[in-house]
Amino acid sequence: CISTYFDVPAAKAVAAIEAYVPSNNRSQMTRTGRNTLIIDAYNANPTSMAASLENFRGIKSDKKVLVLGDMLELGADSLKEHCSIVELAVSLNAQMVLLVGHEFERAVEKLGSDAAFDSAGVRLFADSSILREWLVQQQPSGATILIKGSRGTRLERIFDVL
C-alpha cells in the first residue's frame, strides 16, 4: 500500500524489506555455533515484553529458553507488571526461564515458588554478569533463546557465550 502511494514498484519494496537487518540489539535473530538467539535487549516495557513472549510462543523449536531482564523505570507499577510477565513467561513452557534483576526477584518472591516455577526451570540472577558465569558453566546448545530486557540490565554481556 505504501509502495503504491510512493510509486515504488512492489518488487523493489519487497526486496528492501527482505534485505533489512535490524541492529543495536533490536529484534535481531542471530545463529551462533550452538543456538539461535532472538535479541531484543535495547528496551523493554510491559507491552513490548508481553508481545515478544507471545510471538516467541508461536516459534517452533524443540528447546526454548527465555532470558528476561528487568523492565526499568516503571515506578509504582513495577512489581505488578513484573509479576504479570513472570506468569506469562512460565505459561510458555520453555525449558528454562532465566530472570535478571531486582525487579524480577521481587516478583518471584511475591508470586511464591511453587511446582509451576520449578517445572518451568525459573532461575533468578542478580545481574547479567552472574548470569554470564552460569551460562559459561551450563553451555546451553540446540536452543532458541529469546533475550529481552531494558538496556540497563546489560544483557549484551551474555551474547558471546551462547
Asked if 123 and 14 touch (Cβ cutoff 8 Å), the reply is: no
Asked if 34 and 141 touch (Cβ cutoff 8 Å), the reply is: yes
128 φ, ψ (degrees, to nearest 5): -70, -25
Asked if 116 and 92 touch (Cβ cutoff 8 Å), the reply is: no
Q: What is the pTM of this model?
A: 0.82
SS3 at position 121:
coil
Strand 28-31 and strand 36-40: the pairing is antiparallel
Confidence (pLDDT) at 16: 72
Q: What is the pLDDT of residues 34-48, one digit of tens each?
A: 999 999 887 899 999
Q: Which three cell numbers stand for residue 102?
A: 531486582
Sign of CA pseudo-dihedral 123, 127, 128, 134: negative
Percentage with pLDDT > 90 across the chain: 67
Q: What is the pLDDT of residues 91-123, one digit of tens each?
A: 998 999 999 999 999 999 888 865 456 666 899
Q: Is 43 exposed, middle or buried (0-12, 13-18, 19+ CB in 10 A)?
A: middle
Measure the CA angle with vertex 132, ends 102 and 136; round to 5°: 145
Q: Which amino acid is at 143?
A: A
